[in-house]
A and B are shown apart, each in its own frame.
Chain A
Amino acid sequence: MGMKRLITILLVLIFLPVISMAASKKHPPVQVEQACSECHEAEAVTWQEHKHGLMGVGCVVCHGDLEKNFLKRPGPERCTGCHAEQVSGRAAGHKTKPKSCWTCHNGHTLLTNQGR
């Protein structure tokens, strides 16, 4: 039993840097007047052409303010404001509760393969 525990701890320790590295990824400093689209033009254009961009859901909603909180890959909690039912698995088509919205909702179009 002791051996199994040791192996577990070792494996966890090996992967912990991976987890913490991903968590502490910082966004390079930006000037106050710079817009996200200046460096991220492709993503910004895609976003603006699809529903969320058109409805005024800014980059900050998913990615944070870049300083106090920055999320390179946001988690489902960023979607709760408008999509609480889907996030909690109560809405139709969301009962499988995948760990991440991006399993089905891709990139910056946020469309699934069925175009939803």
Chain B
Amino acid sequence: MKTPETSRLFTSWRNPRSGVESFVLTERVAPVQQSFYYTTPSLTDDGRYLWMRCGFPPEGGRYATQVLGIADLERDEIRVYHETQFPTGAPAVDPESGEVYWGSELDVWKRGPLAGDKAVRVNSFPRELAKGRPDRIGTHLTFSADRKSLNIDAKFSNTGAGQQFFIGDMPLDGSPFRLWQRIDGMNHDHGLFSPTDPDVQMFAHEYWQDHIHEPFDGAKPYHRLWWIKRGGKAEPVLRNPVSHSGHEWWDADGKNIWYVHYGVAIKKVNLATREETVMWPGALSHGHADRSGKYLVADIMDDPVVSDCHVAFRNLETGKEVEIVNRPPLAKDLTQCMHLHPHPQFCMNDKYICYTTTIHDRVDVALVRTEDLIAKTQ
């Protein structure tokens, strides 16, 4: 089987400043090929399948409902599956089987990675709860710790009576959706199942979106980060509200949650003690940690709307950092996509970091070897 280093699908690109080598997926079946959101690992544990988001905007455009593509490192080929539009649920990849799950309208679908595999409807959000068409049923789907369910954080805004939000889980065996809590009138999203407890999820309150018509300078403290235990009511994760924050993710141990306190640091909060630890001071945007919590990767941008492609790696043991890529925003008239952030993430059991790069004046998926980054930050 090929690897990103040996596959004909990838081309090496070296950062001239830092010497860090990335492997860019230069075989292209779509004009936009983007890595997944940083909370969703895209590479299977065996390294055979790399899933990605593919968009087909018109040349020079940026809007397209994306579909899924896959790089198959056994066959050394890349395929696109047009039946996988995922407007209401960003995908989740089963890291063992390579199956991918996604949301469309009220339905969750899955399909296998092979060309001959067929899409299967896994389950549906109940029509009796749905008020019109959903904005989404899952911001980004995640598996429960027992692998029996997917998290649901459904939002309906065109209800005629304000927005409605449902947090719950959708069993993979097709049995009925289980509602954990309904919250009306506020914008919640980014639900994520705990990696160790199938009865726990966290989610975010988008305070700034609920107050979009008011001045918001980011200094107002509020509780963005919430968690909920099945059968209970959601409660804030942090002991005290903080100024604008976001881009949270679960630590692999399930006992801590990481988040970005904008302009301050990447922090880690212990769920039992609520104690917070500063892990990477600075003005960072998205972060992600390896399973040991010793290595971090983050992207950095002055303007999230017209974002740089700037990704750095930090070795927490040595405190050293190395730049993976640093490029100004794509020119406006180049073909691109909405939400063009690098979203770096550790994947394939931390062997690689996957991110979205623009170094070829387009939107590409890239991988970089973690061991090289560790070596450069000793």
Are A and B physically bound partners?
A: no
Chain A interface (Cβ < 8 Å from any Cβ of B): none
